[in-house]
Amino acid sequence: MVWLGVDLGDARVGLALSDPELTLAHPAGNVRVYGDSFQALDEVVDVIEDETVDHVVVGLPLLLDGTEGKSAKKARRWAANLVKRIHSRIEEGDCAITQPPQVTLVDERLTTVSAHRQLHQALVSGRKHRPVVDQQSAVVILQSALDGARRDEGEETER
């Protein structure tokens, strides 16, 4: 079982993958999108196929007050288009997977701040943050989802 984290950006879409035990998230690269994150859909589907991803976690950039702005609506559209793209590839027989992964959106408020902090703590110079901050943000998004799933599972076990 592997999960994929996705951080949508205007220049790059950051990706992160989990380990098979769903314990740790690690960077899996960026997809350059030149102002249109929808350009990344096919490459993300390729990663889903190559890594046999069971669950995709897309960052939902809510406003600080918790409401949805234009960026959150765009993330919802992107996730819906990802699902459509996967289904059409499966229907066309042009896909290595037969079951589409679950796709969920998770609150990603302040993940970029957290990603910059982690890179700084890892002694990555400020100038070198830009090319890796999107994938580090994807790591933060995915790790948050993995930790939440583990907490939920623990609560189920206690009942």
Interval 78-104: pLDDT, tens: 999 999 999 999 999 878 888 899 999
Q: How many domains does the chain have?
A: 1
CATH number assigned to the domain comprising residue 76? 3.30.420.140
Region of 14 please: left (phi>0), alpha (psi -120 to 50) or beta.
Answer: beta
How does residue 129 score in pLDDT terms, banded at 50, 70 and 90? very low
For 120, the domain range is: 3-158
Counting DSSP H helices and E strands in the chain, the numbers are: 4, 5
8 A C-beta contact, residue 5 and residue 15: yes
Q: pTM here?
A: 0.85
Mean pLDDT of 130-144: 83
Please check the confidence at residue 114 and state whether its pLDDT lies above 80.
Answer: no
The whole-angstrom separation of Cα 13 and Cα 120 is: 21
In the three-class reduction of DSSP (H, G, I as helix; E, B as strand; rest coil), residue 94 is classed as coil
Nearest alpha-carbon partner for 119 in 135, 108, 143: 135
